[in-house]
Structure 1
Amino acid sequence: MLTVDFDRLGVRAGTRLIDVGAGAGRHSFEAYRRGADVVAFDQNAGELADVELMFRAMAEAGEAPAYAKAETVCGDALDLPYGDGAFDVVIASEILEHVPEDRRAIAELVRVLKPGGALVVTVPRWLPERICWALSDEYHANEGGHIRIYRADELRARITETGVRYVHQGFEHALHSPFWWLKCAVGVSRDTHPLVAAYHRMLVWDMMSAPRLTRTAERLLNPLIGKSVALYFTKPAVSGARR
């Protein structure tokens, strides 16, 4: 399940890409399939070990071009171990809502992006997230949980303060919003609740089969209740250029 549009980012053979907060690796895997040179970056060494295994499996199965490169790096998003302008594309999907020093993290994302490069940041959308918080403290009040809810325009302004230019906004995963509202209503940890289990089966079926009915429904509902908002930016190619 991808939250970012790789065609919009221009990810292709030879693209140097870092996926900051890679988690289980879903965006890193897609970039690798497309022939990019990928860094899956995260602070969770356990998850990165699984991502590394998947990279190897993809290479052995021929699911990524032989020339593509993929590696995992464990570290802190507030202090990325790369030089200025090291990457053509920077992805930060569903991480800033977890980070107390989000402005510092944003500055690092922009710093390692090369002039002319593309940045995408995704976070939970304000309305679906607000409903989750209202229904359940367990959803967000836990170690490593969500510490803030962003309004898209506020986050966009916070990011453009660094000098990047805003390009596009998209909404994703509308069918997942009711799933999380349901989980929050019955108890976030109650995965075996009949309604939760049934909805989860539907989501898995949708992801595996991509039937026209649910794809059309989600496309129509995304502007209304999309679970995530994706904000796309580009770094001016000329130093000091204004947006």
Structure 2
Amino acid sequence: MLTVDFDRLGVGPGSKVIDVGCGAGRHSFEAYRRGADVVAFDQDEPELANVASMFEAMASEGQVPDGAAARTVPGDALELPFADESFDCVIASEILEHIPEDDKAIWQLARVVRPGGTVAVTVPRWLPERVCWLLSDAYHEVEGGHVRIYRESELLGKLVAAGLRPVGREHAHALHSPYWWLKCAVGVDREDHPLPKAYHRMLVWDMMRAPLVTRTAERLLNPLLGKSLVLYLVKREATVVAR
């Protein structure tokens, strides 16, 4: 399940891409399929081991074009271990809401992308996220959980201050918002509750089959209920000074 539109980012053969806070690797895998030179970056080393195994499997099964490359790098988003202007594209999907020093992380994202390069940042959208917080403290009051709810204007201001120019926006995953509301309402740890279980089965079916009815419904509902805010930006030509 991709949150980012790779066509808008211009990712293709030879593109140098870093997926910061890659998690299970969904965006890294797509960039690799498109022939990019990919760095999957995260502080969770066991998860990175799984991502590395999937990279190997993709290569052995012929899922990637010749010339594509992929590797995993562990580390902290506040101190990216890469030179300035190292990448053509930077992806930071659903990570900034976890980071107390988000300004510092944003400046790191801007530092490592080349002038004219593209950046995609996604965070939970204000309204769906606010409903989750109101329904359940356990949803966000956990170690490594969400530390803030962004308003779009606030996040854009931080990104622009770091030397990035917005070029597009969208909302994604409207069908996922009711699932999380159900989870929060019945208890986020209640894996056996029939309502979220049934809804989750529908989401899995949707992801596996991509039927016209649910794809159309989500496209129509995204402007109202999209769970994620997706921002597309370009690095301005002026040099960004790291903080």
- TM bin, normalised by shorter chain, reads over 0.9
Separation in 2, partners of 1:239, 1:227: 33
Indicate the residue corresponding to 1:170 in structure 2.
170
Contact 1:116 1:234 in 2 (8 A): yes
Distance 2:15 2:191 in 1: 39
SS at match of 1:144: coil
The letter of the residue matching 2:185 is: A
Contact 1:39 1:71 in 2 (8 A): yes
Q: CA RMSD in A?
A: 0.9
Alignment-derived partner of residue 230 in structure 1: 230
Matched, 1:217 2:217: yes
Query: d(CA) in 1 for partners of 2:56 and 2:79?
Result: 27
Structure 1 residue aligned with 2:9: 9
> Shift in Å at residue 140 of structure 1?
0.3
Instruction: Output the CA distance in 2 between the equivalents of 1:192 and 1:12.
Output: 42
Structure 2 gaps of 5+ residues are: none
Q: Kindly indicate whether the alpha-carbon contact (under 8 Å) linking 2:206 and 2:214 is maintained by their aligned counterparts in 1.
A: yes
8 A Cα contact 2:12 2:35, kept in partner: yes
Say which SS state the counterpart of residue 233 (structure 2) adopts: strand
Q: What does 1:137-148 correspond to in 2, within 5 Å?
A: 137-148=137-148
SS of the residue 2:131 aligns to: helix
Looking at structure 2, the residues matched to 239 and 163 of structure 1 have their Cα atoms a distance apart, in angstroms, of: 8
Divergent runs of 4+, >4 A? none
CA–CA separation in structure 2 for the residues paired with 1:143 and 1:52: 25
Q: How does 1:148-167 map to 2 (within 5 A)?
A: 148-167=148-167
Residue of structure 1 in register with 2:110 after alignment = 110
Identity %: 67
Q: Deviations over 1:2-24 (max 9, x none)?
A: 00000000000000000000000
Partner of 2:121: 121
In the aligned structure 1, how far is the partner of 2:103 from the partner of 2:125?
Answer: 18
Gaps of at least 5 residues in structure 1 are: none
Check 1:102–1:238 CA distance in 2 against 1; reply closer, same or farther (3 A cut).
Answer: closer
* Count of residues in Structure 1 that have an aligned counterpart in Structure 2: 240
Residues 185-238 of structure 1, C-alpha deviations (whole Å, 9 max, x = no match): 001011221111110000000001001110010000000010000011101235
Q: Given that residues 179 and 196 in structure 2 are in contact (C-alpha distance below 8 angstroms), is that contact kept between their aligned partners in structure 1?
A: yes
Aligned to 2:69: 69
